Structure 1
Amino acid sequence: MERTRKYNSNMIRKRILSGKKLTRGMFDYIRRNPEEFKDLVFVRRKFKNTQR
């Protein structure tokens, strides 16, 4: 079973804005809490293809 870290939405936001890659755990976090990333929906759509 893969364990997921607890991520901070501000950390993810900073990471996205600085153009870094998101890890699998971050994708899971965004998927679990979509309302925190309403303003980053375009980012989620862009990354949806790279999730695999």
Structure 2
Amino acid sequence: MIENHAPAIIYWAGNIASRLRLAAYLFPFHKFPEILFPKILINGVNG
């Protein structure tokens, strides 16, 4: 049963990450604390 749920969990985690990257791209970085948009996410958008 856990094996069946693994792809859904991976997809969900990827979806959250993509939404965070989109939000970081759409909104000014300086308005959000570093904990919401780690440098890895910001660097992923910029680079």
TM-score normalised per structure 1: 0.32
State which structure, 1 or 2, has the greater radius of gyration over its C-alpha atoms: 2
Query: Structure 2 length normalisation: TM-score?
Result: 0.33
